Structure 1
């Protein structure tokens, strides 16, 4: 091992000290939910509230959708918050900053009980649409995420009013703060928003054909992947039963488990997620900015009218993913013989990790600190942004990583080709040491490569945190 560390020391001379790590600020978010259209909204609210100290929740708005056209049920959101209130003091024993039940109740709002564009126009303001504007007017430079779990007409009305009542300069500034992630199109206001506000940051798999949406990777059965973590048995044992009032509020799956959760998964600070860069990939999936080819979209039995996109949007992107699996002898991990491809796998590849994270936080509802597991803390011995020359070697080192519970740690480093500009794959061994040595590819032009550290403890359930190292390779 000694030559390895000598080489690492030499290569450290080439490191760039300019960091590109994302800010530690909490992401602001307003939820738009057609709660009671499907139990999965309630499931997603339960998960969201367990991260309420890590995500800055600014609004919880009951809306309509194509599945729930003529009513809104804010009282159903309040019911979940009441269950949260019973466990909030115990959650504080594990991490601080969980908002009070009273604070969250004050954020519950209603949209109009009208479907889609019938609820957009002059005189069609609602408590929810005005609240979005109020949050945009706050003296806060952070982006405001709108996490849309149902129809988007409450957001559409906010935008309609902003355009009608604000100066062009003020409206542009307000809209520039918005970041939208919609769970497909569940009313006809989504395409209206995208057509009329071409500069709005918008993540969507357009139309209501859920089978062709990235977010469905959360509940798709993949032959050869870990599907146990979305099974009804796993849910009952790890979430619903013997986990206090909030676990008891988690309903059985009726259609697909937690179909709305991907709309906020990438807002959770875990070292992998970077909400401002959907192309980097994270718990909520990976997306690229382009105008989808409408000719490849089939109408089928679509409820929401499908129309051609007139602008670039953040939408489906493909990953090739070969899992690492446990090995009984020799090196503790090895690559599987199965490789998965497609846009759903950009989300499903992290599924076991974000489900275990959820289960660990659900344990916090009743357990003392000593009885529960907590996230490991990855620590790099170098910057998260590195620059080297073509063909040169460099080292990655996370040997100073720790675990608050004193658990043993497993390290896994891998190149994430789709997240960077370099189209090849960089291989190295051993991938599971706390420090690795890698040779940069030979390049003819400037290229970027993303290397991910996956640090997992051996607690129960096992929890994973990450570090993303962005490598810039310059031609000689």
Structure 2
């Protein structure tokens, strides 16, 4: 409850004690419809290793307490491949890179050591991170998960690799929980794992059961198509695998963020804020790269972002955010209360994806998935993700501080819930009472805000919210609401800590 001041050490000891006993993730308190503990989502990262991936990976390490990491796989893409070492020439199957780079024997390959280097830095801050959450995996565990996948060329999937074998092993194991495969480059190493499963089992009596099992548990989050293996192999041969496809919303965390992030939110990505909260804050974040900071990835001739003259030419400020275009592939796995993992159309820190009209196993963004941007007063296809930038960045800054200070000197997110179920029904004309609850582990004051996420619901109109800035609010269901219409209500609770942190409860009202 607001105002209840749990002693910080006692609160932390209680939470960590339960986690150690159960080895499960603590869910928001007071959520009567769900168990108090749920398993962490299983995930595997595949990465082609450019600057954008490296910065995404550094943030990812700070969120590994929120996931069950099962693989960290070097892969290739249309932008990065190692070559076979024999001088074999290759030309891209993707029109843009074919035009840009032509025939090559290798392309901007940054090696297979950088994840290990960053994990070594993680090792330095690991004892500090454990003070804040006992779920952080050990550095040794993370190192054991690093594997080299299919890296010789863009789209190469002709042979098994340690990386593809790791993905295959996880997809075939006896744990039927979903496996969230993050694609930070091409899908080729994932495609090779699936092809290996097909080759081994297709002509056996086990094939149908294996096919159904793998199709059911595999979820692939793709940031653009960066090779042709999804189109040419995965989609036609594994059509029942769930695919989350982000083609436009991710740009607010990628290279073109100045074009997509509203002016009011840009300060969270600009030099003053980045220098104050992220850049060079402790051993791990010394590796984080920003505009004009003097860094240079020697193996990548296209990396000029650290150069001051190039920075000025492009009109950027020193220490401005460069890109983390792959971070949306794991931010939805972080349980902040928005229920985006449960239903991608609910929206959240990875944006809002809707089910394809032609493929029920594909969820996507694009021209038809836009939120109203109050800053421009227009529908905006990037705003489903850009709307959360301040909360995302403040959360990042808090975790950066976790690497440097003990529990008592850092901020931790409030715990938010509602009385009763998160899914309720009501008749048109009925007034629905929404009773929020929240507690803060640091004893901070809490600010409440109830708001309607109109684009996530099927009811097109606006509802009136009484006491929107209180824990307990009231929503009158409009008389013109039809049976089956949904109205999505978000309770956002922000604490008064530094930086301020926000968590949510997401209530879905269905008209009966």
TM-score normalized by the length of structure 2? 0.77
| Counterpart among 131, 134, 137 of residue 169 in structure 2 | 134
Q: Any residues of structure 2 matched to 1:260-339 within 5 Å, and which?
A: 260-290=326-356, 313-316=362-365, 317-322=368-373, 338-339=376-377
Structure 1 window deviating more from structure 2 (180-189 vs 436-445): it is 436-445
Q: Any residues of structure 2 matched to 1:75-154 within 5 Å, and which?
A: 75-117=113-155, 119-121=156-158, 124-154=159-189
CA shift in 2, pair 1:92/1:108, >3 Å? same
**Residue 490 of structure 2 aligns with which residue?**
452
> How much has 1:379 moved relative to structure 2?
3.0
- 2:285 is the alignment partner of 1:236: no
Three-state SS of the structure 2 residue aligned to 1:418 is helix
Q: Is the 8 A contact 2:450 2:465 kept in 1?
A: no
Structure 1 window deviating more from structure 2 (266-275 vs 55-64): it is 266-275
Three-state SS of the structure 2 residue aligned to 1:397 is strand
- 2:483 is the alignment partner of 1:432: no
Q: Is the 8 A contact 2:279 2:288 kept in 1?
A: yes
* Counterpart Cα distance in 1 of 2:462 and 2:347: 16
* Counterpart Cα distance in 2 of 1:372 and 1:359: 10
> How much has 1:340 moved relative to structure 2?
4.6
* Counterpart Cα distance in 2 of 1:223 and 1:148: 27
* Counterpart Cα distance in 2 of 1:415 and 1:112: 45
C-alpha offsets along residues 210-262 of structure 1, whole Å, 9 cap, x if unaligned?
Answer: xx622112242334331111113322221122x21111111225494211111
Question: How many residues are matched?
Answer: 415
C-alpha offsets along residues 432-459 of structure 1, whole Å, 9 cap, x if unaligned?
Answer: 1221111112333222221110000011
| Counterpart among 38, 41, 44 of residue 53 in structure 2 | 41
Structure 1 window deviating more from structure 2 (230-239 vs 86-95): it is 230-239
Q: Is the 8 A contact 2:397 2:499 kept in 1?
A: yes
- 2:91 is the alignment partner of 1:56: no
* Counterpart Cα distance in 1 of 2:127 and 2:236: 46
**Residue 248 of structure 2 aligns with which residue?**
213
> How much has 1:56 moved relative to structure 2?
0.9
| Counterpart among 28, 42, 47 of residue 42 in structure 2 | 28
> How much has 1:275 moved relative to structure 2?
1.5
Three-state SS of the structure 2 residue aligned to 1:401 is strand
Q: Is the 8 A contact 1:449 1:470 kept in 2?
A: yes
**Residue 158 of structure 1 aligns with which residue?**
193
Q: Is the 8 A contact 2:150 2:189 kept in 1?
A: yes
Show structure 1 runs of 5+ residues with no match: 1-16, 206-211, 293-309, 324-336
C-alpha offsets along residues 82-106 of structure 1, whole Å, 9 cap, x if unaligned?
Answer: 0001001001111211111101000
Q: Is the 8 A contact 1:413 1:431 kept in 2?
A: yes
> How much has 1:74 moved relative to structure 2?
2.9
| Counterpart among 232, 235, 259 of residue 325 in structure 2 | 259
CA shift in 2, pair 1:376/1:137, >3 Å? same
Considering only aligned residues, what root-mean-square deviation do their CA atoms show, in Å?
2.2
* Counterpart Cα distance in 2 of 1:273 and 1:231: 29
* Counterpart Cα distance in 2 of 1:57 and 1:260: 16
- 2:436 is the alignment partner of 1:389: no
CA shift in 2, pair 1:20/1:237, >3 Å? same
Q: Is the 8 A contact 2:123 2:139 kept in 1?
A: yes
Q: Any residues of structure 2 matched to 1:167-178 within 5 Å, and which?
A: 167-178=207-218
* Counterpart Cα distance in 2 of 1:445 and 1:22: 32
- 2:87 is the alignment partner of 1:65: no
* Counterpart Cα distance in 1 of 2:120 and 2:149: 21
Q: Is the 8 A contact 2:171 2:217 kept in 1?
A: yes
* Counterpart Cα distance in 2 of 1:186 and 1:84: 29
Structure 1 window deviating more from structure 2 (433-442 vs 143-152): it is 433-442
**Residue 454 of structure 2 aligns with which residue?**
417
**Residue 243 of structure 2 aligns with which residue?**
202
**Residue 227 of structure 2 aligns with which residue?**
187
Q: Any residues of structure 2 matched to 1:456-467 within 5 Å, and which?
A: 456-467=494-505
Structure 1 window deviating more from structure 2 (70-79 vs 85-94): it is 70-79
> How much has 1:177 moved relative to structure 2?
0.4
Structure 1 window deviating more from structure 2 (180-189 vs 219-228): it is 219-228
Three-state SS of the structure 2 residue aligned to 1:240 is coil
Q: Is the 8 A contact 1:33 1:64 kept in 2?
A: yes
C-alpha offsets along residues 376-399 of structure 1, whole Å, 9 cap, x if unaligned?
Answer: 11132332122222210111122x
> How much has 1:339 moved relative to structure 2?
2.8
> How much has 1:312 moved relative to structure 2?
6.2
Three-state SS of the structure 2 residue aligned to 1:48 is helix
CA shift in 2, pair 1:424/1:115, >3 Å? farther
> How much has 1:361 moved relative to structure 2?
0.6
